[in-house]
Structure 1
Amino acid sequence: MTKPLLIPGLPRSLARDGWWLDAPVAGPPDAPKGEARSTRGPHWAGLASLVALADLLFWHHAPGLSLALFALAILGVAAAGSGRLSARPVVLLALAAAPVVEHLQALSLAFLALGLAVALVWLRRPEAGMADIMAVTAAWLRRLPGHWLAPLAPRAGVLAQIARPSSAGQSARKALRDWAFPLAGSLVFLGLLMQANPVLARGLAIDLDVWALAARLLFWAGVALLLAPFLASDLPEPLQLSPVALPRAARLGLNPRSVLRALVLFNALIALQSVTDLSILVFGVALPEGMSLAEYAHRGAYPLLATALLAGAFALAARPFLQEHRAIRPLLLVWLAQNMVLCGAAMLRLEHYIEAFGLTYLRLYALIWMGLVAIGLGLVAVQVLRGRSAAWLLTRSSALGLGTLYLCAFVNFAQIIAAQNLARPAPDTGYICALGPMAHGALLDAMRANPGLRIETRPCALWFPPDAPGWREWGFRSWRVARYSAAMETPERAE
């Protein structure tokens, strides 16, 4: 039991009146270390400014450069609301917005959205590591649809929060009572005066399109609901991914003996296939009677790619048995090397098929995918040789895939496909015209090299360069193609 504090010589009346000195100080409970408790909603002034900016950038305008500018504005408003600003999130968002500045497409839009999400999380947790930032971003994206729908719920909606008693609500009701009668009476007198004064009526006449106004108000409301979760400062806990053990039925009965025997048989089969492909595609061995090289290439390109993918999956499944037998590791490395050769054979087959039938988006993407599979098998081989973890392989494979997609966002594939197909003796004009104005430069080059080239399909979007857009719709690729087309002397178009 604590003893009362006694000060000798203190008057009794003052000691009786000084009870408040011993009272506990009320204050907010301490938050756990490392946990930021914040229940603040979005910064309303910032949200209103973003809605006004969205109206300026997107209302009756096609998106383009405006999307990159709007994403940077969202990050700026979020930084102003949180009171912190770091250069690293800004640099990350600028890199994510670069594909949109190059050319607006689904791939560049996905990079912009993902970059904005990571930048917002990084802004609010600048001290966290990259792994934690990605985990929090995954959790934030997971809850984002629920936050979009939350304002529409009856209990948590905006109207319910306005109706909740508070000092701001009481002030608003008081102002409404004070101004309701004066404003209503002024409107009545204004209506009577406009009937009596034609000059005043003409000056105050408003040509109001109710449906256009309603559509614009709905646009503002939709933008506000869409942006509110981006400006809220609270963040969820990181998404935890726990390893899942495969049941026995999903292990396909693998054991050290079955893995060893499978590697011997699989290597023998792949070696037979590789020898056959190399003898036909490289050394020119005759094909079976009645089969052309194009047919041979078409029959094998995609099945060989599927075989390489299955080979990578089998290598990952066989990895836990590397220490069970000394022959498993070298056989597994030989297996991976042979499947890398198999990817090269599939690319050779596809190249022969393209020479026979022309280049398309699907065939070009397949070539890129085959190269990625071959590099991925090489990463698995490095993992086996150096004893790296599955996280090491997953990180590098993800970086390889995202890096390839990011670089592809800056490549004008329409130009490449059109240039390759227009150099053929009998190009598929229907498919070439469907490539659109981004391939106009390839048409000009082909017509300059071959003045007799004619494209008879009408209408053909390849005839005309991209339109000169406004600054909101501006894209570097369309500007580049239009500038190149204007710089060249346009040959006479087909009649």
Structure 2
Amino acid sequence: MDTTDTLTQPMPIRRDSVRVATLLGLVALADFLIFGYAPGINLFLFALAVCIGILLSARRPPSPSKAALLLGFLALASAPLLEAPSLIGVALCLGALMSVALVSARLMPRRLTAVPLVFVRFALIIPLRLAESISKYLAMPGRRFSFTGVRQGIGLWIMPLVLAAIFVSLFATANPLIEIALRSIDFGLLLQLLDPWRIGFWMMIAIVVWAMLRPRLNRRGVRPQPDRGFMIVPARNAPLGHASLLRSLALFNAVFAVQTLLDLVYLWGGADLPAHMSHAEYAHRGAYPLIATALLAAGFVLIAMRRGGPGDHSPLIRGLVHAWIGQNVLLCLSSMLRLGLYVEVYSLTELRVAAGIWMSLVAIGLVLILLRILFNRSNKWLIAANLVSLIAVLYISAFIDFSAFIARFNVAHSREISQEGPPLDLAYLSSLGPSVIPALDLYLSRLPDHMVAQRNEALSVRFYLVRDFEWRPRGWRSWNFRAARLQANLLAPAAIARSDENGDNRHDKPIQDR
């Protein structure tokens, strides 16, 4: 038999093999860090690991400086997860990972106005990317899936496995060390890996991570290009023509002027309302409907000031639109003032905080519409600018402990402390979670001595909140700054004294569990 001394060159490692190995490593890391543990710093660490995996598995790995910049961007965007885990923080982190993936794959557009559409096209393909890659792999020559091949492959392993099991049992009988090693195997731990919830978690992580490692954009439908030689010009008397818009804007400005004048007199001027109506009722009835009015007005302005429409050629229509937008901005400010008046009477809640933030975003959106008209920008610019403002507000909000803020506000403005406003709603405060404990300590330190019933109720609420906080999942994976700050607050001498007082109070007079 003739042999040759020539060795074949080793085949280079394919980039897909690196991605598959990275995917398996990240799924295993997610199981180690996240599955079965409370969210905390583990989410931040896993996001950094995914970012590193994206950079290492890119077709053209970025330069060290660019890689460091992208990793720093991801860390900054995911910083809210260090403060406290939240849906907003997870959404910001996922958006940052999508950005890193698009930049690494050179799919990120250079124009800011094109970024929202690219993100939408990327998000649409994420759930299908792994299945698409598997189907392409199986469609390759020699990789076709068939049950006959699977059955034959399993059949080839039956005899080796049976014989190996027999040999192992014989060795265990002959060697006590092997017997001890076999008995020490925890088959319960192996069965835990077959937990359907765990497998589902692996699949979810694999789907999202694979889309990040192999980014691709959803195909856009081919839009027919309009014939520039033929243009439909709306008639002057059409529903959205010059005459109709002129009359609509004149009428809308007049109607809004009445509402604006009433707000200037009763809200901003502080004039006396009719005998049967309070400022709180006046504020409550108008806070939310006026925001809906502003949104409808914004939609009408976008239609009225479309490119090529009557607003582009009529200075009068443009002036009426500017005046109407100004009235809508004032309407949003009045809605925020209404909300403030209502809070003074009925205290602060999470829904009212969200309403205030939403009103601010609507006001910003109206100002951006005005800037779009003044600088003749496109609707893509308007969408991108609104997204930037929304992301900025969400990012800042992710660092704010709204439960603690609401509790401090309600305590400071409660009737027991400030001699004004509503009594402190301790039942609502208890529903906000352990973050309100420092505010409760402030309330107890300033509460007059003669209010024994309020003190006992506050001590009871504090006791159960501390108990719930102490029963939280522990471990380094679940650590976050917010819980660490609260833990340090509870270990302060004043808080320990308050806890002892709470225990003495419960010993003297037990309070039933609610």
TM tier, smaller:
0.7 to 0.9
Distance 1:237 1:48, change over 3 A: closer
Q: Show the 5 A alignment for 1:327-338.
A: 327-338=316-327
- Superposition pairs for residues 314-353 of structure 1, below 5 Å? 314-319=300-305, 320-353=309-342
Deviation digits for residues 131-190 of structure 1, max 9, x if unmatched?
Answer: 5665444322211212344588799499x94868xxxx9xxx8xx97x987775453133
Equivalence map 1:14-413=2 (5 Å): 40=16, 43-82=19-58, 84-85=61-62, 86-125=67-106, 129=110, 131=112, 135-150=117-132, 156=138, 161=143, 184-195=162-173, 200-205=178-183, 206-209=185-188, 211-215=191-195, 218=199, 221-222=202-203, 225-226=206-207, 229-230=210-211, 232-233=213-214, 235-236=216-217, 239=220, 253-319=239-305, 320-413=309-402
The runs of 5 or more residues in structure 1 that have no matched partner are 1-37
Find the partner of 2:488 among 458, 477, 483: 483
Deviates more, 1:84-93 or 1:326-335: 84-93
Name the amino acid aligned to 1:367. G
Distance 1:188 1:232 in 2: 44
Question: Would you say the 8 A contact 1:148–1:229 is kept in 2?
Answer: yes
Q: Secondary structure at the match of 1:91?
A: helix
Amino acid at match of 2:56: A
Counterpart of 1:72 in structure 2: which amino acid? Answer: L
Instruction: For residue 113 of structure 1, give the secondary structure of its aligned residue in structure 2.
Output: helix
Mapped contact 1:41–1:233 kept (Cα < 8 A): no
TM-score with structure 1 setting the length = 0.78
- From 408, 426, 431, the equivalent of 2:428 is 431
Alpha-carbon contact 1:96-1:111 (below 8 Å) kept: yes
SS of 1:327's equivalent in the other structure is: helix
The alpha-carbon deviation at position 409 of structure 1 amounts to 0.9
Contact 1:40 / 1:234 at 8 angstroms: preserved in 2? no
What residue is the counterpart of 2:443 in the other structure? 446
* Kept in 1: contact 2:98–2:212 (CA 8 A): no
| Shift of residue 114, structure 1, vs aligned partner | 1.6
Alpha carbons of structure 1 residues 201 and 156: separation in structure 2 relative to 1, 3 Å: same
TM-score (norm 2): 0.76
Report the Cα distance in structure 2 between the residues aligned to 1:197 and 1:139, rounded to whole angstroms. 62
* Structure 2 unmatched runs, 5+: 1-13, 227-231, 416-422, 507-514
Conservation of the 8 A alpha-carbon contact between 2:127 and 2:207: no
Note the C-alpha offset of 1:196. 5.2
What do the CA deviations read for 1:103-152 (whole angstroms, capped 9, x no partner)? 11111111111211121111121785255665444322211212344588
**Do the aligned partners of 2:41 and 2:478 also contact (CA within 8 Å) in 1?**
yes
Q: Secondary structure at the match of 1:95?
A: helix
Summarize the Cα distance change of 1:483–1:252 in structure 2 as closer, same or farther, 3 Å threshold: farther
Percent identity, please. 33
Work out the CA distance in 2 between the residues paired with 1:84 and 1:154. 24
Aligned counterparts of 2:224 and 2:265: Cα–Cα separation in 1:
45
The verdict on how the C-alpha distance between 1:294 and 1:133 changes in structure 2, with shifts beyond 3 A counting, is closer
**Partner residue, 1:6:** none
Aligned length: 449
Query: Structure 1 residues 157 and 435, CA, compared in 2 at 3 Å: closer, same or farther?
Result: farther
CA contact (8 A) 1:414 1:439 kept: yes
Contact 1:298 1:353 in 2 (8 A): yes
Once the two structures are superposed, residues 420-471 of structure 1 have per-residue CA deviations (whole angstroms, 9 ceiling, x without a partner) of 2223121121111010012222222222233655362766654468448422
Give structure 1 regions of 4+ aligned residues with deviation exceeding 6 angstroms. Answer: 151-155, 179-183, 240-248
What RMSD over aligned residues (CA atoms) do the two structures have, in Å? 3.9
Please state how far the C-alpha of 1:380 moved relative to its aligned partner. 1.9
Compute the displacement of 1:258 (Å): 1.8
Counterpart position of 2:420? none
Q: Is the 8 A contact 2:19 2:213 kept in 1?
A: yes
Task: Measure the CA separation in 1 of the matches of 2:222 and 2:433.
Answer: 44
Conservation of the 8 A alpha-carbon contact between 2:83 and 2:480: yes
* 1:288 aligned counterpart, secondary structure: coil
SS for the counterpart of 2:404 is helix
Residue 360 of structure 2: SS of its match in structure 1?
helix
* Whole-angstrom distance in 1 between the partners of 2:15 and 2:238: 50
C-alpha spacing 1:430/1:186, structure 2 compared with 1 (3 Å): same
* Counterpart in the other structure of 2:512: none
**SS, match of residue 322 in structure 1:** helix
Moved more, 282-291 or 419-428: 282-291
Provide closer, same or farther for how the CA distance between residues 377 and 185 of structure 1 changes in structure 2, counting only shifts above 3 A: closer
